[in-house]
Amino acid sequence: MASGILVVCEHEDGAPKKTAYELLSKARSLAAELGGDVSAVVIGSANAANLGEYGASVVYTADGSEFSSDGTGSWASALAAAIVEADPAVVLGAASVDIRSAFPRLAVRIGAGMASDCTDLFIQDGVLIARRPMYAGKAFADVSISSSVALYSVRPNSFPGAAPVGGSATVSPLSVSHSEAELASKIVGVEAPKSETIDLTEANLIVSGGRPVDSSENFDRLIRPLAEALGATVGASRAAVDAGYAPHNEQVGQTGKVVNPSLYIAAAISGAIQHLAGMRTSRVIVAINKNPEAPIFQHATYGIVGDIFEICPLLTEEAKRQGIGR
């Protein structure tokens, strides 16, 4: 009978991403209650052995040129092969671009139930429950899945990544074959964003600017220095992006990126439903707005009624003085 938890560990430049450690850590605590082992699967060329120190007893690897040159069509086969080997009851992956594409294909292929973009996983009466936002974050649904293997994609930063627990993993290469259809999409080039900071979707600290920032020069003068002083990633509202003050890859919201940081600073952002859809699960929201009636204050943990042209430089100065971003 299927048991245990298989974690899909994504990596960047050969090293596991932060989400891999977050999910392994959560998998360990869930497995302690549900029973079974924690194992990991790594697709593409990466240093997988250290995942044993974070609780994986076996690391399944699928390495081959198709995993770097193709779209995620090849991932479903690799994950299906890992599931045959590990026979898990639960498969966890981050709600990343690649897993959002791969999990639905995998779910259809193996007849598994799936919950996407979860923000919490917990056990109630011995059953694993996934909490996921609905209706642009206005409501949360608690779902349980009854298929013998269940897939869950989890928003980055939903769980803390624990320190290593020691231990070592057996590395087990998978034998994966693909159909022609799976290899139909090819990656023809990758253009990395210019920013050196962590990608918005995985960032733990975000400073976002809205339409009243008023120019890209002001973004560089107000928003980016505050983000840098805090060690944060820069975000923007769609109004700011549409006006050309910030690039589209920095847009947060329904038609931008969904973020889940510990701290989200919304500087001159009104709090439109489409913006909230992308950031409302942030743990702490600080809103800076001239209008005390602005809707964002209904969602803010802390509110500063004031002008960003005065408040942002003060916060930047104070963050620098305290050496916060270092």
Ligand X SMILES: Cc1cc2nc3c(=O)[nH]c(=O)nc-3n(C[C@H](O)[C@H](O)[C@H](O)COP(=O)(O)OP(=O)(O)OC[C@H]3O[C@@H](n4cnc5c(N)ncnc54)[C@H](O)[C@@H]3O)c2cc1C
By beta-carbon proximity to ligand X, the closer residue of 164 and 247 is 247
Q: What's CA 37's distance to the chain center, in Å?
A: 24
What is the C-alpha to C-alpha distance for residues 250 and 170, in angstroms, rounded to an integer? 40
Closest approach of ligand X to the CB of residue 254, in Å: 4
Q: Map tokens 């399944």 to a residue.
A: 60
By beta-carbon proximity to ligand X, the closer residue of 38 and 268 is 268
Q: Which residues, in sequence order, are CB contacts of 21 under 8 Å at separation 6+?
A: 54, 161, 162
Task: Give CA separation, 237 vs 96, 250, 255, 273, 277, in Å.
Answer: 21, 8, 10, 11, 11
Closest approach of ligand X to the CB of residue 290, in Å: 4
SS (H, E, C) 180-240: CHHHCCECCCCCCCCCCCCCHHHCCEEEEECHHHCCHHHHHHHHHHHHHHHCCEEEECHHH
Interface residue list for ligand X (CB under 6 A): 210-212, 237-240, 251-256, 268-270, 272, 274-275, 278, 288-291, 294, 307-309
Closest approach of ligand X to the CB of residue 273, in Å: 7
Closest approach of ligand X to the CB of residue 40, in Å: 33
Q: Which residues, in sequence order, are CB contacts of 281 under 8 Å at separation 6+?
A: 119, 133, 137, 155, 260
By beta-carbon proximity to ligand X, the closer residue of 4 and 212 is 212
Nearest-CB residue to ligand X? 253
By beta-carbon proximity to ligand X, the closer residue of 92 and 227 is 227
By beta-carbon proximity to ligand X, the closer residue of 93 and 209 is 209
Beta pairing partners, 304: 288
Closest approach of ligand X to the CB of residue 122, in Å: 29
By beta-carbon proximity to ligand X, the closer residue of 83 and 300 is 300
CB 113 within 8 A of CB 121: no
Task: Give CA separation, 188 vs 180, 185, 274, in Å.
Answer: 18, 9, 32
What is the C-alpha to C-alpha distance for residues 40 and 182, in angstroms, rounded to an integer? 23
Closest approach of ligand X to the CB of residue 268, in Å: 4
By beta-carbon proximity to ligand X, the closer residue of 16 and 210 is 210
Closest approach of ligand X to the CB of residue 64, in Å: 36
